[in-house]
């Protein structure tokens, strides 16, 4: 479905204020000191994965490209910066013409990552690059956290359908991004209509307990739903007594009933009972959807239960215990001028206390063993060794200010499944462990 | 500052698609079955607080009122619903005229709440009320989670200044709402310019490590910053050697230096050393700001350290371990027609498994003991007892479709401080415990 012509009610006209104030004051001070146009390289990476996680998942790249493209200063934004006294007039004049003109490379969306992976590399003048820090990190830290949880859940679901239904548990626009990231991580559909609208993710949904309670009887509610949505609909059977509801559901809809949904109780036990009852009633093709406080562990524990689809809310949109990643955006190299010929000098924070980083513009490649299974994330400076040349991870996303890395969301979703499949088998264990690949510095 | 005329680049034209699909299919089925206009009462409440928390904080009310007011269906939205086959033509016609015409009462923003508190009550026809479920829960669940964490941090900070700087750790628009909720919970300022723009929250920020690394020397960077931002600025002193940086900072800016910021290391130890050094250098009024991975426990542990302000990021915007609340939106009563004279009948889900709720339209009041300290959250049906009549918690927010509950953000912030102060002393203990007030059903 083409959504391009429908307008974008969940977009915003400018992303320029999704920015920490210090980015602006640094630009002002650098403009004054003559360092603003020094050629610079910033990189995004994490020092660690969330505790116990085996791999991370890059998500949000498509949104990030939108954010960079829309990072502009109109009169309203400039007026605010002036009135609030954030920056001076020369800086406002510079901002008025702002348009990112540099280059961005990154791990493509859906790719996996490890501690130290240079997930994104932003090159240009110091001033044009530093301004993008906050919004780039917001997008990647949020979306990658959701995609990582989604990926674990989709491993656990082992091919059964996964429905994202967490909108009500997170900020209304974070929810739209969460649906998108969940899709990248392997989910099949969403309850969130804004995500359907904005990203053409398949949407699903039929009814809640309120609909049953609204009617004078459960039978009346089921009849009303089937009359309106057809026999293929999903009837919610746990408002009163489940066995009674299943019997009524099949009486009302016939054995063609599409599905029943169970939203409370011991799902393992109830799913077995309901399956048996449906089969006895002849509704052998009626599916069972479960939706109560699921996470990847609960999904895994239902592997042997007769469940056809899982609806996941809270634990998905909160990253299953890890609602954010710890990605940072660091200046790793800079020249002493804007001259393309001026050498890039590696730079890095040196102070003690665990926040060290490694200076220099990096490449990254994933080395495979003789069976084609990934065995190391290799990160290096300078020339890429010949044997890793075709295993490089960074791809061009923005070239001379033009977005070149846009792709359909399904490409990211397919890439994630392929990248995860190429990891050692232990990657998809849910138990806590070390990153499944070591990061080697070449 | 009046931001009303600056446009709203972080707003959206319509909130109507921040909605789970089943709300729409329920409306369709209810329109067909003739139950859509039954007079209905929905309530928002939680069954429990996050584990160990003593109280919850209502936040997002102002945003919720915006969301209800902007819940409209323009041609683009209707076109999407039609093309995607979400609802039928009679439903689309009904949606085209949608405007919430009912009443909403709620705990005012900043108020505290407990398990079972009827935080919000929405009354109108079934169809007009059910549609608002998802967006209302998104706003309240997100914003209240942030405000609860902020409240604990502001208790721990005991009057020292708190800066919200978590934008990069959460979705870019969730970040704006998080700044707002943090302000309600007691924070003083934010690094997020969009939050300054949208909600007139004071913004702060000066420089990052990248600015020091950009320059040929730390001294050069400090000079550039002071030249541009003045001696009152905050210099970041942990890029290389802290003691060296503090010496350089005072040499460059003089004893009038506004503040130094420490972003790594053992903050307790380093803060003491830096304070001593600043005092020896005559910079006795130079403040110390700390900003590294703080949460309410770290803030409390620095109570005896010479720290003037705390910058908090990750743990604030992720709710300090509890990134969402478990608020639900339940149909608690309905009539059998639209007739205002038709009696409201309490309804409630009955199925076993821990998701019980209590039917009926509720009032709530906070009972005080003889010293004026809160001693119970009292929730009841029917008439409010005379002795609790002036302690009622629900206030009108929307009356006959008109928003009547809008107020300045500072009113919510002040209310929160007052409400928290009226709780028993143990409310502000950071240790895990039971809700500080019992909920009694009258």
pLDDT tens track for A141-174: 999 999 999 999 999 999 999 999 999 999 999 9
Share of chain B above pLDDT 90, in %: 94
User: What's the pLDDT score for residue B312?
Assistant: 98
Q: What is the mean pLDDT of chain B?
A: 95
Closest residue of A to B243, CA-based? A351
Query: How many angstroms from the chain centroid is the CA of residue A407?
Result: 15
Q: Find, among A409, A421, A428, the residue nearest to A189 by Cα.
A: A409
Q: What is the mean pLDDT of chain A?
A: 95
Q: Do B10 and A17 touch (CB under 8 A)?
A: yes
Question: Domain B206-292 - what CATH class?
Answer: alpha beta
**DSSP output for B312-326:** E-HHHHTGGG--S--
- The Cα A439–Cα A423 span in angstroms is 14
Best of B7, B8, B129, B211 to disrupt the A interface (most A CBs within 10 Å) is B211
C-beta of residue A132 within 8 angstroms of C-beta of residue A106: no
Best of A138, A227, A327, A330 to disrupt the B interface (most B CBs within 10 Å) is A138
**CB A188: neighbour CB atoms within 10 A?**
19
C-beta of residue B393 within 8 angstroms of C-beta of residue B116: no
Give the mean pLDDT of A324-344: 96
Two tokens, residue A433:
């462990």
Two tokens, residue A330:
């660091």
Of B80, B135, B197, the CB nearest to A197: B80
User: What's the pLDDT score for residue B67?
Assistant: 95
The pLDDT tens digits for A376-428 are 999 999 999 999 999 999 999 999 999 999 999 999 999 999 999 999 999 99
Cα Rg of chain A, angstroms: 25
Two tokens, residue A339:
């001259």
Residues of B in contact with A239 (CB under 8 A): 349-351
C-beta of residue A349 within 8 angstroms of C-beta of residue A357: yes
Using the predicted structure, report yes or no on whether residue A330 has a pLDDT greater than 90: yes
C-beta of residue A133 within 8 angstroms of C-beta of residue B168: yes
Q: What is the 3-state secondary structure (H, E, C) of chain A?
A: CCCHHHCCCCCCCCCCCCCEHHHHHHHHHHHHHCCCCCEEEEEEECCCCCCCCCCEECCCHHHHHHHHHCCCCCHHHHHHHHHCCCCCHHHHHHHHCCCCCCEEEECCCCCEECCCCCCEEEEEEHHHHHCCHHHHHHHHHHHHHHHHHHHHHHHHHCCCEEEECCHHHCCHHHHHHHHHHHHHCCCCEECEHHHHHHHCCCECCCCCHHHHHHCCCHHHHHHHHHHHHCCCCEEECCCCCHHHHHHHHHHHHCCCCCEEEECCCCHHHHHHHHHHHHHHCCCCCCEEEECCCCCHHHHHHCCCCCCCEEEECHHHHCHHHCCCCCCEEEEEEECCCCCCCCCCEECCCCCCCCCCCCCCCEEEEEEECCCCCEEEEEEEECCCCHHHHHHECCEEEEECCEECCCCCHHHHHHHHHHHHHCCCHHHHCCCCCCCCCCEEEC
With a CB cutoff of 8 Å and minimum separation 6, the contacts of A205 are: A165, A191, B20, B21, B22, B23, B24, B25
For chain A, which residues make up each domain, given as ranges? Answer: 4-145+322-441, 206-289
Using the predicted structure, report yes or no on whether residue B353 has a pLDDT greater than 80: no
**CB B82: neighbour CB atoms within 10 A?**
14
pTM for the structure as a whole = 0.97
Using the predicted structure, report yes or no on whether residue B1 has a pLDDT greater than 80: no
What is the 8-class DSSP label of residue B17?
A: T
Residue in the block written with tokens 């359909």: A408
Q: Is residue A300 left, alpha or beta, with left meaning phi > 0 and alpha meaning psi from -120 to 50?
A: alpha
Of A18, A83, A239, the CB nearest to B1: A83
**CB B93: neighbour CB atoms within 10 A?**
11
Of B6, B208, B331, the CB nearest to A26: B208
Of B9, B14, B25, the CB nearest to A205: B25
Give the mean pLDDT of A206-223: 97
Q: Do B214 and A137 touch (CB under 8 A)?
A: no
How buried is B78 (Cβ within 10 angstroms: 0-12 exposed, 13-18 middle, 19+ buried)? middle
Find the angle CA(B346)-CA(B351)-CA(B355) to the nearest 5 degrees.
80
Q: Is residue A256 left, alpha or beta, with left meaning phi > 0 and alpha meaning psi from -120 to 50?
A: alpha
Of A20, A139, A178, the CB nearest to B192: A20
C-beta of residue A238 within 8 angstroms of C-beta of residue A265: yes
**CB A362: neighbour CB atoms within 10 A?**
23
Question: Domain A206-289 - what CATH class?
Answer: alpha beta
Of A126, A224, A352, the CB nearest to B29: A224
C-beta of residue B155 within 8 angstroms of C-beta of residue B139: no
Of A40, A240, A352, the CB nearest to B265: A352
What is the 8-class DSSP label of residue B20?
A: B
Q: Do A192 and B141 touch (CB under 8 A)?
A: no
The pLDDT tens digits for B50-86 are 999 999 999 999 999 999 999 999 999 999 999 999 9
Share of chain B above pLDDT 70, in %: 96
Paired sense of beta strands A161-164 and A189-190, if any: parallel
User: What's the pLDDT score for residue A2?
Assistant: 36
Reduced to 3 states, what is the DSSP secondary structure of residue B310? strand
Best of A91, A129, A228 to disrupt the B interface (most B CBs within 10 Å) is A228
Of B17, B174, B263, the CB nearest to A9: B17
User: What's the pLDDT score for residue A12?
Assistant: 67
Closest residue of A to B178, CA-based? A171
**CB A357: neighbour CB atoms within 10 A?**
18
Residues of A in contact with B84 (CB under 8 A): 1, 196, 203
Give the mean pLDDT of A7-14: 61
- The Cα A3–Cα A11 span in angstroms is 13
The pLDDT tens digits for B302-312 are 999 999 999 99
Using the predicted structure, report yes or no on whether residue A4 has a pLDDT greater than 50: no
Query: How many angstroms from the chain centroid is the CA of residue B394?
Result: 18
Paired sense of beta strands A395-399 and A374-381, if any: unpaired
User: What's the pLDDT score for residue B68?
Assistant: 96
Give the mean pLDDT of B330-343: 96
Using the predicted structure, report yes or no on whether residue B352 has a pLDDT greater than 80: no
Best of A48, A211, A358 to disrupt the B interface (most B CBs within 10 Å) is A211
Query: How many angstroms from the chain centroid is the CA of residue A162?
Result: 15
Sign of CA dihedral B427, B428, B429, B432: positive
Q: Do A220 and B33 touch (CB under 8 A)?
A: yes
For A4-145+322-441, CATH number? Answer: 3.20.140.10
- The Cα B184–Cα B1 span in angstroms is 18
pLDDT band at residue A369 using 50, 70 and 90 as cut-offs: very high
Q: Do B32 and A314 touch (CB under 8 A)?
A: no
User: What's the pLDDT score for residue B9?
Assistant: 53
Q: Do A141 and B193 touch (CB under 8 A)?
A: no
The pLDDT tens digits for B21-51 are 999 999 999 999 999 999 999 999 999 999 9
The pLDDT tens digits for A63-95 are 999 999 999 999 999 999 999 999 999 999 999
Two tokens, residue A42:
């910033």
Using the predicted structure, report yes or no on whether residue A243 has a pLDDT greater than 60: yes
Q: Do B330 and A6 touch (CB under 8 A)?
A: no
Using the predicted structure, report yes or no on whether residue B423 has a pLDDT greater than 70: yes
Sign of CA dihedral B421, B426, B429, B432: negative
User: What's the pLDDT score for residue B356?
Assistant: 62
- The upper half-sphere exposure of residue A301, i.e. CA atoms within 13 Å in the direction of its Cβ, equals 11
- A–B interface: beta-carbon pairs under 8 A: 390
Measured in residues, chain B has a length of: 442
pLDDT band at residue A358 using 50, 70 and 90 as cut-offs: confident
Q: Do A167 and B126 touch (CB under 8 A)?
A: no
Best of B172, B232, B262 to disrupt the A interface (most A CBs within 10 Å) is B172
Give the mean pLDDT of B110-130: 98
Residues of B in contact with A348 (CB under 8 A): 213
User: What's the pLDDT score for residue A14?
Assistant: 87
Residue A360 C-alpha, separation from nearest chain B C-alpha, in angstroms: 12
Give the mean pLDDT of A17-26: 97
pLDDT band at residue B14 using 50, 70 and 90 as cut-offs: confident
| Least confident stretch, A80-94, A266-280, A353-367 | A353-367
């Amino acid at each position: 479905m083409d959504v391009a012509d429908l307008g974008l009610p969940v977009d915003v006209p400018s992303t320029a204020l999704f920015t920490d104030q210090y980015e602006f004051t640094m630009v002002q001070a650098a403009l004054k000191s003559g360092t603003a146009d020094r050629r610079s390289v910033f990189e995004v990476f994490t020092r660690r994965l969330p505790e116990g996680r085996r791999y991370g998942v890059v998500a949000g790249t498509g949104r990030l490209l939108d954010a960079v493209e829309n990072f502009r200063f109109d009169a309203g934004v400039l007026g605010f910066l002036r009135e609030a006294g954030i920056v001076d007039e020369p800086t406002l004049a510079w901002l008025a013409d702002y348009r990112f003109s540099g280059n961005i490379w990154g791990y493509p969306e859906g790719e996996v990552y490890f501690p130290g992976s240079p997930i994104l590399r932003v090159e240009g003048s110091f001033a044009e690059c530093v301004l993008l820090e906050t919004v780039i990190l917001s997008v990647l830290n949020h979306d990658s956290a959701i995609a990582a949880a989604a990926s674990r859940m989709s491993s656990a679901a082992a091919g059964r359908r996964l429905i994202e239904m967490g909108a009500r548990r997170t900020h209304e626009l974070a929810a739209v991004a969460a649906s998108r990231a969940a899709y990248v991580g392997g989910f099949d559909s969403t309850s969130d209509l804004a995500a359907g609208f904005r990203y053409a993710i398949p949407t699903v949904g039929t009814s809640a307990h309120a609909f049953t309670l609204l009617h004078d009887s459960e039978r009346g509610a089921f009849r009303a739903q089937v009359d309106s949505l057809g026999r293929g609909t999903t009837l919610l059977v746990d408002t009163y007594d489940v066995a009674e509801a299943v019997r009524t559901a099949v009486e009302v809809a016939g054995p063609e009933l599409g599905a029943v949904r169970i939203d409370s109780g011991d799902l393992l036990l109830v799913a077995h009972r309901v399956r048996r009852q449906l089969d006895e009633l002849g509704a052998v093709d009626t599916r069972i959807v479960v939706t109560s406080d699921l996470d990847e562990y609960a999904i895994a524990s239902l592997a042997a239960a007769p469940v056809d689809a899982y609806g996941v809310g809270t634990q998905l949109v909160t990253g299953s215990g890890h609602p954010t990643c710890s990605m940072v955006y660091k200046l790793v190299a800079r020249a002493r001028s804007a001259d393309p010929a001026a050498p890039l000098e590696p730079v890095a924070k040196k102070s003690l206390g665990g926040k060290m980083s490694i200076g220099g513009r990096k490449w990254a490649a994933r080395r495979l063993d003789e069976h084609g299974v990934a065995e190391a994330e290799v990160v290096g400076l300078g020339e890429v060794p010949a044997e890793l040349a075709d295993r490089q991870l960074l791809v061009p996303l923005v070239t001379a200010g033009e977005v070149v890395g846009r792709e359909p969301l399904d490409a990211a979703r397919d890439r994630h499944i392929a990248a995860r499949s190429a990891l050692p088998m232990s990657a998809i264990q849910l138990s806590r462990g070390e990153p499944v690949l070591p990061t080697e510095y070449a």
